[in-house]
Amino acid sequence: MKYLIVGLGNIGLEYENTRHNIGFMALDHFVDKQEDCKFSSERYAFVAKTKHKGRQIILIKPTTYMNLSGKAVRYWMIKENIPEENILIIVDDIALPLSTIRLRKSGSDGGHNGLKDIISSLGNSNFNRLRFGIGDAFSQGRQVDYVLGKFSQEEAKVVNEKLETIDEIIKSFSVNGMERTMNMYNGK
C-alpha cells in the first residue's frame, strides 16, 4: 500500500516559513522525525519516502510553485501508481482560524490556486485534503501580503504544536484511511 502526501508551498528563501507554505512546513516537520528519511530533488518535487506499519509513504513538496501544483501531484501519482483515495494534500486556508485543522475527502478549491490547479490536472476534486487554518487577520487588499508573511513568534508556537498533530494524521491516514482519520481529528 502506497500513500502520497503532498505539502503545498512555494520554493525559495523568500517563501520559507510563510503562512502559504504550511504544507512544506508540515512535511519538513514529519520527515525530520523519521529515521533515514530525507528530501531529495526529483522531477517536479522534493521527494522523501518512508514506511509506517508496512505502508509506504511518499511525501512531496512540489517545486512547480503553488499555482502549478497539479503537475507534480499528477506526475507522482502516476509514477508511483497511487490511487486518488490514497492522496492527502496539505494546504493553508484563510477561511479557518489559526491552527484549525479540517480534513475533507473532496470539495471545491475554496479560492486556493494550488487546489484549483490540482483539480484541473486530475480532472476532478475527489482527493483528500487537510486544510490548515492560517486565519484572516489582514485588512482589505492585504491578503497577498498576509499569506506570504511569516508567523509571529506567538503564532509559531501554536503552529508548531499543530505540526505534531499533522504527524499523527499522516500516520493515521496511511493505516486507518480517511474516514476514520476524519472521525479522530476533525473538531479536535
Number of residues written out for the chain? 188
Q: Is 29 a residue of the active site?
A: no
- The tally of domains found in the chain comes to 1
All three cell numbers of 82, joined, read 497511487
Residues 66 and 8: beta-carbon distance below 8 Å: yes
Please give the average per-residue pLDDT across 22-30, as a whole number. Answer: 97
Residues 52 and 3: beta-carbon distance below 8 Å: no
Residue showing cell 516537520: 29
* Least confident stretch, 23-27, 48-52, 74-78, 141-145: 141-145
What angle, rounded to 10 degrees, do the helices at 153-185 and 22-32 form?
Answer: 80
Average pLDDT taken over every residue of the chain: 95
pLDDT band at 136 (very low <50, low <70, confident <90, very high): confident
All three cell numbers of 53, joined, read 506499519
pLDDT at 157: 94
Question: What CATH number does residue 132 fall under?
Answer: 3.40.50.1470
Residue 56 domain boundaries: 2-185
What angle, rounded to 10 degrees, do the helices at 113-122 and 69-79 form?
Answer: 40
pLDDT at 21: 96
d(CA 10, CA 147): 12
Please give the average per-residue pLDDT across 153-181, as a whole number. Answer: 96
Q: What's the DSSP call for residue 69?
A: H
Please give the average per-residue pLDDT across 128-155, as a whole number. Answer: 91
SS3 content of the chain, % helix, strand, coil (to 5): 45, 25, 35
Q: pTM of the full predicted structure?
A: 0.95
d(CA 171, CA 30): 10
d(CA 77, CA 40): 17
Neighbouring C-beta atoms of residue 102, cutoff 10 Å:
17
pLDDT at 148: 92
